[in-house]
Amino acid sequence: MTHEADSNQTKKKTLEQAFNTIFHDKEDFSEFCSLDVISEVEPFTISDREVFKTSDRLKRYLRFIDRIILRHLSIDTDVVHSFSQEKNTYTAVKEHVGNDYFFLTDIESFFSKIKTEDVKKILYRNINNIPISDIENYIDFLSSVVSFNNQLPVGFSTSPRLSNSFLYDFDIALKTYCSRESLTYTRYADDVIISGASFEKLERLKTTIQDFLKIHASNELRLNKSKTRITHLGNKVKILGLMILPNRTITIDAKYKSRLELLLHFYSNNKEKYQSYLEENFNGSEKSVFGMLHYVQSIDPDYLDKLQRKYGIYAVRFFMEKKSNDNR
């Protein structure tokens, strides 16, 4: 074990060496280290939520930090399904199809409750994982770059990985508890999903989870009362925009089906209404329809077959091949 650690240490670069390897002298390391983040960020509001737009320069720096440092942060891959190429909302929900009762909640204002000091703790906790030999010298600086107004900003490319790693100890503790109670636990970003065979074991989960957040993450974190509920198979089991049907199959939410079907109907029968509906519901982008149909194909191919039978193979294929046609 010691030999392995020593071997890894010899492979580590300094942060400056890593920076120059990535940027090939197109960016100056000293300028990076003297970055004024405030001048590189533009806050704005979407649906009462503060989002932060970064300059092109800061975008490049954040991608560098994400690639060289943050991808090495510890997360519990057994339960975390967010911000991953291998996992998604479907895999997060699929883990629960064998159970009958579902506890659903989310963490209120999650990103904004993660403070600059929390980011420092994440980096210190992962020092041995990060392949930068002098990382400890830059933790304060890096923490100031990836946070803004003393919070983890929505819109920074570094925030997703940091938020996942922030809950590492919480995920371990809750997974252990759920395993002991014969419950299934998955998390997608700030959404917590727990399921089991009986209602009784889910009743006390709200208090348990809140206690675990306090002990293993932060006193700042609170469960969202308005989004905390228990449901069961046979009811409308809606999780992360997906539905678990009574026969334990997964499909997309009915409201998304309705949007798709109305769009395909207008596309086939009324081009003027089609354009108007596309603007109102898909931001005028046929590529958004492309993405949704491919998502349907990966989750519920039987429903995609139904769309092709109802609206015609040509209509469905037009949207599903849209992106590749645009790239020609």
* Mean pLDDT, residues 75-82: 97
Express each pLDDT in 148-187 by its tens digit. Answer: 999 999 999 999 999 999 999 999 999 999 999 999 999 9
Q: Is 108 helix (H, G, I), strand (E, B) or coil?
A: coil
Same domain, yes or no: 168 and 66: yes
Q: Are 183 and 195 in contact (CB under 8 A)?
A: yes
Express each pLDDT in 96-144 by its tens digit. Answer: 999 999 999 999 999 999 999 999 999 999 999 999 999 999 999 999 9
Express each pLDDT in 36-55 by its tens digit. Answer: 999 999 988 887 788 899 99
The reported pLDDT for the residue numbered 323 is: 55
Of 252, 273, 293, the domain-final residue: 252
The pLDDT confidence band at residue 8, using thresholds 50, 70 and 90, is very low
Q: Are 83 and 189 in contact (CB under 8 A)?
A: yes
Q: Which long-range contacts (CB under 8 A, 24 or more apart) does 34-38 make?
A: 35/61, 35/145, 37/144, 37/145, 37/148, 38/148
Residue 7 in this model has a pLDDT that exceeds 60 = no
Residue 1 in this model has a pLDDT that exceeds 60 = no
Q: For position 212, which CATH number holds?
A: 3.30.70.270
Residue 2 in this model has a pLDDT that exceeds 50 = no
* Mean pLDDT, residues 280-299: 91
DSSP 10: H
Same domain, yes or no: 220 and 298: no
Domain count, the chain: 2
Same domain, yes or no: 241 and 257: no
User: Which ranges in 233-300 belong to alpha helices (H)?
Assistant: 254-269, 271-282, 286-299
- Tokens standing for 231? 């449901």
Of 200, 233, 252, the domain-final residue: 252
136 C-beta neighbours (distance < 10 Å), count: 12
Residue 192: which domain range? 1-252
Of 195, 219, 252, the domain-final residue: 252
Same domain, yes or no: 263 and 320: yes
The H or E element spanning position 20 is: helix 15-23
The reported pLDDT for the residue numbered 47 is: 76
Same domain, yes or no: 277 and 306: yes
Q: Are 166 and 114 in contact (CB under 8 A)?
A: yes
The pLDDT confidence band at residue 236, using thresholds 50, 70 and 90, is confident
